[in-house]
Amino acid sequence: MPNTSSTETGRYLVLLGEDRTGADNKLAQLAQVRILHSAEEPGGLQVLGEQCAVVFDRIGVALLRCGSPARQALQEASQAGDGAILAVEPEREVHACNDEGEALPQGGSWGVEAVGATHSPLTGNGIRVAILDTGLDLEHPDFTDRAVTHMSFIDGETVHDANGHGTHCAGIAAGRSRSQGQARYGVASEAQLYIGKVLSNAGGGADGSVLQGIDWAVANQCHIISLSLGGPVRPGERYSAVFEAVAQRALEAGCLIVAAAGNESRRPEYVAPVAHPANCPSIFAVAAVNQDLAVAAFSNGGLLPDGGEVNLAAPGVDIPSAWPMPQRYRTLSGTSMATPFVAGVAALYAQEDSSLRGNSLGVRLVQSVRLIGQPAADVGAGLVQAPR
pLDDT at 303 over 60: yes
Q: Is the peptide bond before 235 cis (omega within 30 degrees of 0)?
A: no
Over the stretch 136-176, which tens digit does the pLDDT of each residue have? 999 999 999 999 999 999 999 999 999 999 999 999 999 98
Rounded distance between C-alpha atoms, residue 154 and residue 160, angstroms: 11
Over the stretch 242-252, which tens digit does the pLDDT of each residue have? 999 999 999 99
For residue 307, what pLDDT is reported? Answer: 79
Are 341 and 172 in contact, with CB atoms under 8 Å apart?
A: yes
**Positions of E strands within the chain:** 8-16, 34-37, 52-56, 61-64, 85-96, 128-133, 149-152, 192-197, 204-206, 224-227, 229-230, 256-260, 284-289, 312-315, 319-322, 329-332
Percent of the chain with pLDDT over 70: 90
For residue 106, what pLDDT is reported? Answer: 52
Rounded distance between C-alpha atoms, residue 37 and residue 171, angstroms: 32
Quote the Cα angle for 305-97-12, to 5°: 75
Active site residue 336: yes
**Positions of E strands within 107-242:** 128-133, 149-152, 192-197, 204-206, 224-227, 229-230
Active-site residue among 179, 189, 240, 336?
336
For residue 100, what pLDDT is reported? Answer: 66
- Mean pLDDT value across residues 59-80: 91
For residue 103, what pLDDT is reported? Answer: 54
- Mean pLDDT value across residues 63-74: 87
- Mean pLDDT value across residues 3-28: 85
Active-site residue among 165, 168, 223, 276?
165
Looking at domain 8-91, its CATH architecture is 2-Layer Sandwich (3.30)
For residue 267, what pLDDT is reported? Answer: 53
The average confidence (pLDDT) of the chain is: 91
pLDDT band at 179 (very low <50, low <70, confident <90, very high): low
Active site residue 318: no
Burial of residue 80, with CB atoms counted within 10 A of its CB: 0-12 exposed, 13-18 middle, 19 or more buried: exposed
The DSSP line for 235-249 is: TTPPPPHHHHHHHHH
For residue 39, what pLDDT is reported? Answer: 85
Active-site residue among 95, 109, 120, 133?
133
Four-residue CA torsion sign, 21, 25, 26, 32? positive
Class of domain 96-379: alpha beta
Active site residue 133: yes
For residue 251, what pLDDT is reported? Answer: 98
Q: Where are the domains of the chain?
A: 8-91, 96-379
